[in-house]
Amino acid sequence: MAIAKRYLIPYFEGSVLANELDGILAETFSFDIPCTPIDVPSGSAELLELFHGPTAAFKDVGAGFLAACISRLNKTGHDTQALLTILVATSGDTGGAVAAAFDGRPGVRVVVLYPDGRVSERQAHQLTCWSDNVQSLAVQGSFDDCQRLVKAAMADVSLSSQHRFSSANSINIGRLLPQSIYYADASLRHFRETGRKPGFIIPTGNLGNAFACILAREAGLPIGEIVLVTNANTLIGEYLQGTEWLPRVGIQTLASAMDVGNPSNMERLRSLKGEGPALNQVVRVFSATDQDIENEIKNMFTDFGLTICPHTATAAHAYHQLSDEERANEDWILVATAHPAKFESIVEPLIGASIPLPKGLSDIMSKPSRFTRIEPDLNSLKTQLDLIPVTGDK
Ligand SMILES: *Cc1c(COP(=O)(O)O)cnc(C)c1O
C-alpha cells in the first residue's frame, strides 16, 4: 500500500481526490496479489497471480480503483443530479469486473455490452447477475462490434447530450494507473531480494495491462524486459515487424479475453514511444496458437503442478520461446491474468482434474442471471439506454 501511494501521489496532485487516496487504495487492494515461484530447472521464474479479486481476473484491480474514484467524484465533484452511465464493451472479463465494482452504487448505472456466445459460461454469468443499476446486453456480434458501439454512442451528439456517459474500457487512465502498481510492487520486491530487475511476460489483448507495465518502467521502477504475448490475433507483432497498422476483425481463440482485432491502447503506445519497428526498443512480442495454449496448460500442470488459464498459458508459451540463455540468465515474472476456474471447460479436460471454484466465483454463480439480446447497431443500443430514466437520485 505504501508503494501504491508513493506511485500515485504525483498523479493525484491538485485533484479533489488527493485526500481520498488512502480510502481509494484500501478499497482497490482488498485482496492478495501473490507471486508464486515456479520450480524451473535453471534461472528464476515466478507467476504473478492477479486473479484473487471478486471476479477472478486482473481487471478487478483497475475496475475497483475506477469505481472507488468515480463514486467519490460523483458525490463531491458534480452538482448535477443526472445518473452517470458507464458504457463498457467486454470480451469477457472487463464487464464482470466493472459490474462487480459498481454493483449497487448510487448515482451510477453500468451498461455492459458483450459478444453473445463468445464468452465462457461462467464469464457470461458474471456479466449478468448484478443489481438493477447494471444492464447486461448480449450483442449479436463480436467484441469489436461491442467496442465500436460504445465509441459510436459516445461520439453521438444527441445521445451524449441526453446521457452523462463515461467509459470503463482499458483506454481509461483510471484503470491503467492502478495496474501499474502490481508491477511496481512485484519488481521492487524482486529487486530488493535479488538485486536483479525482473522481466515481465504479459498476455495481451487491448494492451492495457502491458501498457501499465511500460508506465511503471518509465516511472523508474526496476523492470527489465517487457514481453507481450498475443493469441492468434497477431496484429501487434506484425506491426512491430514493419507491417502497416491495419485493425482487423478479432479471431476467436481459447484465450477469448484477448480476442482483439484493434487493440485500443496501441494509439497511446505509439504516441508515447514511437511508430512501427521503433517499438522493438520498448517491448518484444510473441504469439501463441490455440495448440500452444493447450500444450502449455498440460505441461505447466504435469511439470510444475500449476493450473493456469488459457490466457496465462500464452505467457508460459512465450517463456518457453525465450532462448536457454535468456531463461537462465534473466529473472522472469509470468503474469497470470485470470483464475483457471473461469475457463474450466477448456482447462479441466486438458489436465484431467477438476478445479475447485474460489469463494468469490461460487458466490457469483449462485446469483440469478438477467440480460437482453441486442443487434450490433447503435439504434438497438439507444433503445436500451432510454429504458432507464436519465435522472437518478443520489
Ligand atoms: C483482459 C484480459 C487480458 C488482456 O489484457 P489487456 O489489458 O486487454 O491487454 C488477458 N487475460 C485476461 C484473463 C483478461 O481478462
Using DSSP's 3-state secondary structure scheme, residue 65 falls into helix
- If phi > 0 it is left, if psi is from -120 to 50 it is alpha, else beta; for residue 285 that is beta
- The whole-number pLDDT of residue 386 equals 87
| Residue 152 confidence class, pLDDT cut points 50, 70, 90 | very high
Ligand 1 centroid to residue 390 C-alpha, Å: 32
Q: Which one is predicted more confidently, 333 or 1?
A: 333
Q: Whose CA is nearest to atom 7 of ligand 1?
A: 208
The pLDDT of residue 388 is 66
Q: Output the pLDDT for position 222.
A: 98
Mean pLDDT of 317-335: 97
Quickly count: other Cβ atoms within 10 Å of residue 207's Cβ: 25
What the block records as the C-alpha cell of 61 is: 484491480
Tell me the mean pLDDT in the region 332-337: 98
The answer to whether residues 320 and 352 touch, using CB atoms and an 8 Å cutoff, is: no
Task: pLDDT band for 144, please (50, 70, 90 cuts).
Answer: confident
Confidence of residue 30 (pLDDT cuts 50, 70, 90): very high
User: For residue 371, how far is its CA from the centre of ligand 1 (angstroms)?
Assistant: 23
Query: Average pLDDT, stretch 206-230?
Result: 97
Using the atom order of ligand 1, give the atom closest to the CA of residue 260. Answer: 8
Any residues with Cβ below 6 Å from ligand 1, and which?
57, 59, 93, 170, 203-210, 257-258, 311, 337-338
Nearest CA to ligand 1 atom 2: 257
Question: Given this model, what pLDDT does residue 1 score?
Answer: 80
What pLDDT shows up at residue 210? Answer: 97
Look up residue 323 and give its DSSP letter: -
Helix pair angle (208-218, 266-273), 10° resolution = 20
| Helix (H/G/I), strand (E/B), else coil: 133 | coil
Give the residue whose CA is nearest to atom 1 of ligand 1.
257
Q: How far apart are CA 130 and CA 109, in angstroms?
A: 11
Residue bearing cell 477472478 = 56
Mean pLDDT of 358-373: 93
Give me ligand 1 centre to Cα 95, in Å. Answer: 12
- Give tens-digit pLDDT for 59-118: 999 999 999 999 998 876 555 567 899 999 998 889 999 999 999 998 999 999 999 999
- Give the number of other CB atoms < 10 A from CB of residue 348: 16
CA–centroid distance, 76 to ligand 1, in Å, is: 32
- Give Cα separations from 159 to 57, 59, 87, 347, 392 (angstroms): 32, 28, 12, 42, 17
Cell triple for 236: 501487434
CA–centroid distance, residue 201 to ligand 1 (Å): 13
pLDDT computed for residue 393 by the predictor: 40
Distance 361 CA to ligand 1 centre (A): 18
Closest ligand 1 atom to Cα of 203: 10
The reply to whether the predicted model has a pTM over 0.75 is yes
- Report CA(207)–ligand 1 centroid distance (Å): 8
Which residue minimizes the CA distance to atom 8 of ligand 1?
A: 206
* Residue 390 confidence class, pLDDT cut points 50, 70, 90: very low
What's the pLDDT score for residue 391? 42
Lowest mean pLDDT among 10-14, 73-77, 92-96, 207-211: 73-77
Residue type, 338: A
Q: Examine the pLDDT at 251 and tell me if it is beyond 80.
A: yes
Provide the pLDDT for residue 172. Answer: 87
Q: Are 121 and 364 in contact (CB under 8 A)?
A: no
